[in-house]
Amino acid sequence: MILLTPSSGFFQRTNKLFLRERANWVQLKEFARKNAANALSVANMVMGMASILSSLNGHHYAACWLVLIGYLLDLADGAVARRLNACSVLGAKLDDFADFTTFGIATSLLLRTPSFLDNLLCICYVLSVLVRLVFFSTGIPFMYRGLPCIYSSAILSCTSLLTGGNMAVLRVTAVAMILFMVSQSFYPHDRVLESQAWKKVVYVGGVVMVFCSSFPPACVYYLLWSVSYILFPTALWSCKV
């Protein structure tokens, strides 16, 4: 016959508590794994909303930088989802909402003035981003149809910062970006963080430029990065995982 002593009862309670805490920790890690990429998408959306508020309050400089931070977050969320095997329909929808907020609405407000034509250009820009997102699926692996809106947003943001918000230059740039986005040209799916080492270095350089550099060098860096994707999409940015 086995006698249960107070010490054995304490051991059983401690063991149950340990197993429960371990199970909770496993569930927490699984939750974090499944939602890490979603958290990046939400962060991208927050950057977009903050940029919108900055534009509406006249903080043009901050609005542009917030778009560029969203640029980095958008490039990271897909890589994290694939790395953690956490791709989902919810994540894809959340990414589209974040892209539309940051690279559609927030970026279009960089073009806003009291002029009716400028406001019409804002509307056209938002609609072109919407068209771009609708035609995202091409049926061809690792390819986009139309210029990805993150690059057009980066170009507009950098142009705005470098020219001090010169509307004549911004109008021409915006029209060009709209035409690129609604075109039926094919662009490679640039998995920057899952491709060659030099692309990862480019990404890290972008992070350093945003947080550690004065704005002229950082703007030139992002402008060259984005323009190179337009000019040499296959030669430089084709997906080679």
Which pLDDT does position 210 carry in this prediction? 85
Which pLDDT does position 81 carry in this prediction? 81
Paired with 187 in beta bridges are 144
The CA distances from residue 93 to 63, 105, 189, 226, 232, in Å, are 24, 17, 18, 24, 29
How far apart, in Å, do the first and last CA atoms of the chain sit?
Answer: 64
Q: Rounded to whole angstroms, how far apart are CA atoms 232 and 192?
A: 15
For residues 67 and 109, is the Cβ–Cβ distance under 8 A?
no
From first to last of its 241 residues, the chain has per-residue pLDDT tens of: 444 455 556 566 666 666 566 666 666 666 566 778 889 999 999 999 999 999 999 999 999 999 999 999 999 988 888 888 777 777 788 888 999 999 999 999 999 999 999 999 999 999 999 999 887 766 677 788 889 999 999 999 999 999 999 999 999 999 999 999 998 888 988 788 888 889 999 999 999 988 876 678 899 999 999 999 999 998 888 865 4
The hierarchical CATH code for the domain 12-237 is 1.20.120
The CA distances from residue 240 to 75, 129, 157, 190, in Å, are 16, 27, 29, 9
For residues 67 and 53, is the Cβ–Cβ distance under 8 A?
no
Which pLDDT does position 74 carry in this prediction? 93
147: left (phi over 0), alpha (psi -120 to 50) or beta: beta
Q: Can you tell me whether residue 115 is helix, strand or coil?
A: coil
Q: Rounded to whole angstroms, how far apart are CA atoms 149 and 162?
A: 20
Tokens of 20: 């429960």
Name residue, tokens 């149950």. Answer: 16
Q: Rounded to whole angstroms, how far apart are CA atoms 43 and 101?
A: 11
Which pLDDT does position 1 carry in this prediction? 46
Q: Whose CA is closest to 76, among 31, 41, 32, 34?
A: 41
Which pLDDT does position 241 carry in this prediction? 45
Residues 6+ apart with CB under 8 A from 123: 108
Which pLDDT does position 184 carry in this prediction? 83
Which pLDDT does position 161 carry in this prediction? 93
Q: Is the dihedral of CA 238, 147, 109, 52 positive or negative?
A: negative
Which pLDDT does position 68 carry in this prediction? 95
Residues 6+ apart with CB under 8 A from 28: none
Q: What is the pTM assigned to this prediction?
A: 0.85
